Structure 1
């Protein structure tokens, strides 16, 4: 399993390590929402506190094969090139591949241990959405750069309308830094990561965002228990059954 896939399955959980004789136990809380940064070159990741980095494609749309130094999780985006460049990037340590558009080589969809993501455009038809849903993507990247904070009900509905088409993890590309209330809204509607362009967010804002995310708890699950409202006709049907003379049923057998 890729590192990003494993991290996504543990959002909001506490990872424990150091079990065994003589080992010092440690615990690390996985954020409820990850922070990702898109970078044009590997040096752009220096001193940036992010959970993951997406290294942009080269001028021909092919994957860059230079490792992002000291980054725990990084991947490459592609819009062209061939499987050769993808293989080189994976060999260099890329954990995932983000397909920017449908011009990318089909080799990006092959079954291997590399996680896969796809950048979804806003004008996707229902049939195309079904095809995307059926593809082997661990996550999708949606464009939220037009979102204005604080979110209003309409903005929440706009995001939910897109999310309703898909069942995998959703990364939202944004420009603004949400406060705790808006982060809770994004968490509740199913956002797994926020993606920023490198240089578009200051170190101070990134630190504030990190601190606020660390305060978030996982989304509360709604209880399925509770009274059930009877459907129309159920009550009267039950009453009719109760009023029925079952002694007459016995006569039918005589």
Structure 2
């Protein structure tokens, strides 16, 4: 695998925990626990590959519609995972950021997020971005509101608003757009994840559920990315002759 062709930023929709658990005769909660264990392993691999950014979809703004019992379990799981894993991640030089709306999250989760982000803020290794209470449309709405407020108070001129100005108001303001977006579980959609940022991402889908996603499939996705030509709407020099 050619290291110079490695993507700088990989995004992952961690899907299929519940269906994996059902096929194993287990509870959905067991599936979510297994999903966290898988994330830990993938973080280690991505860090060793010296990929700079990994963004994972942990909980969407739509996931609040799930049964209260499952949502409550997920919130406890997030808190426990932050508690149990943050020191290992910190010692591995991983910088953690959490993307999404804070409004609606339990107070103990918000406090734990602040603690984890503050602890790892100066780390220089992998940038791990956790999309929690995240929705792509909500993100764009929040960015538009922020720009509207700046226009209203005179700090931004209406005619100066362009793609860069809007990007600077997103949760991912100083994070490069993902080049590769991976979705396990057999679904072939991005489900309101990084809508703006994925405009030119390469998509890679697999039928494997997230708890069974492994290093070999990750490397397969990266290899497929390396084989693709990224033209960004233009033409390669040989095609323009």
TM-score, scaled relative to structure 2: 0.37
For the pair shown, the structure with the greater C-alpha radius of gyration is 1
TM-score, scaled relative to structure 1: 0.36
